[in-house]
C-alpha cells in the first residue's frame, strides 16, 4: 500500500470534512423530520384525542427533565467520537451503551488516543461495525430465538437479570474509558466526584437528581484540569526536537 504524503493526507481530510459538513446535517435533519412526522401522525392522525395543549405540556416536561442531557451528551462524546462519528452516533442512537463502547474499544486496541483524526476515523468504522453486528444479532437472537427463550425462562429470573443489565453495560464503558485514557489521576478524580454526587449531593438535595450527570461531568472536568500535572515528563526531549502532533479533530 503506498504511503501518502502529508499534503495528500491534508487534502484528503479536507475533502472528508466538506462531505461531512454537507451530508451530516442533511441526514440528521431527515431523521428529525421522519421522527416528528411519525409522532405527530400518532398524536393527531389516529384519533387518540391528543390536544395541542397536552402536546406542549408533554414536550415541556421532557425538556425540563432531559434538556440538560441534550447539551451534556454532545459535549461529553465529541472528544472521543469526533465530528463525523458524532453525526453517525446521534442518527443511530444507543450511544452510551453500544456505539461509544465500540469506539473506545477500537481506539484502545489500535493504540490511538481520542482527539486525533485517526481516532475519529476509527470511531466511525467501529460504529459501522457495531451497527452491523447489532442488526445481525437482533434478527437472529431476538427475532428468531428471543421470544422463545424469554417464554421458557421463569419470571423471577428475568426480573433479576434486568436489574443488572444497565450496571453491567455502564461498568464496561467505564472500564474501557479508564484503559484507553491511562490516567490514574483523572480516573480517581472522576470516581470521587461521581461517588460524592450519587451518595452525598443527591440524597441531600433530591431536586438535583436530574442534573446529577451534568454536575458530575462539569465538576470532573474542572477538578481534573486543576489536578493535572504541572511538570513536564522526565526525560522529555521537547526542547531538543520537534514533536509530531496529530491533526486535531475540527
- Nearest by Cα to 194 from 224, 164, 165, 227: 224
Binning pLDDT at 50, 70 and 90, where does residue 237 land?
A: very low
pLDDT tens-digit readout, 202-214 = 999 888 887 787 7
Q: Which three cell numbers stand for residue 234?
A: 522526565
| CB distance 232 to 238 below 8 Å | yes
Site of grid cell 468504522 = 125
Binning pLDDT at 50, 70 and 90, where does residue 162 land?
A: confident
Q: What angle do CA 160, 101, 125 make, to 5 degrees?
A: 140
Q: Which three cell numbers stand for residue 20?
A: 461531512
- Report the interhelical angle of 100-109 vs 155-181 (nearest 10°): 40
pLDDT tens-digit readout, 101-146 = 889 889 988 988 888 888 999 999 999 999 999 889 888 887 778 7
Site of grid cell 481530510 = 13
Amino acid at each position: 500500500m503506498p504511503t501518502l504524503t502529508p499534503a495528500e493526507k491534508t487534502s484528503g481530510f479536507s475533502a472528508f470534512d466538506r462531505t461531512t459538513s454537507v451530508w451530516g446535517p442533511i441526514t440528521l435533519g431527515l431523521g428529525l423530520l421522519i421522527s416528528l412526522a411519525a409522532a405527530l401522525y400518532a398524536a393527531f392522525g389516529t384519533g387518540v384525542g391528543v390536544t395541542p395543549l397536552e402536546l406542549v405540556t408533554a414536550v415541556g416536561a421532557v425538556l425540563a427533565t432531559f434538556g440538560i442531557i441534550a447539551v451534556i451528551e454532545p459535549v461529553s462524546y465529541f472528544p472521543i467520537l469526533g465530528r463525523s462519528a458524532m453525526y453517525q452516533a446521534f442518527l443511530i442512537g444507543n450511544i452510551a451503551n453500544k456505539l461509544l463502547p465500540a469506539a473506545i474499544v477500537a481506539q484502545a486496541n489500535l493504540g490511538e488516543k481520542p482527539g486525533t483524526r485517526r481516532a475519529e476515523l476509527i470511531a466511525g468504522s467501529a460504529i459501522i461495525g457495531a451497527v452491523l453486528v447489532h442488526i445481525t444479532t437482533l434478527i437472529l437472537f431476538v427475532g428468531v430465538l428471543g421470544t422463545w427463550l424469554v417464554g421458557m425462562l421463569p419470571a423471577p429470573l428475568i426480573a433479576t437479570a434486568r436489574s443488572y443489565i444497565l450496571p453491567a453495560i455502564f461498568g464496561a464503558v467505564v472500564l474501557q474509558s479508564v484503559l484507553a485514557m491511562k490516567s490514574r489521576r483523572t480516573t480517581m478524580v472522576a470516581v470521587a466526584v461521581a461517588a460524592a454526587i450519587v451518595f452525598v449531593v443527591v440524597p441531600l438535595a433530591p431536586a438535583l437528581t436530574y442534573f446529577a450527570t451534568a454536575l458530575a461531568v462539569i465538576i470532573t472536568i474542572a477538578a481534573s484540569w486543576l489536578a493535572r500535572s504541572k511538570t513536564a515528563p522526565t526525560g522529555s526531549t521537547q526542547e531538543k526536537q520537534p514533536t509530531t502532533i496529530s491533526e486535531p479533530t475540527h
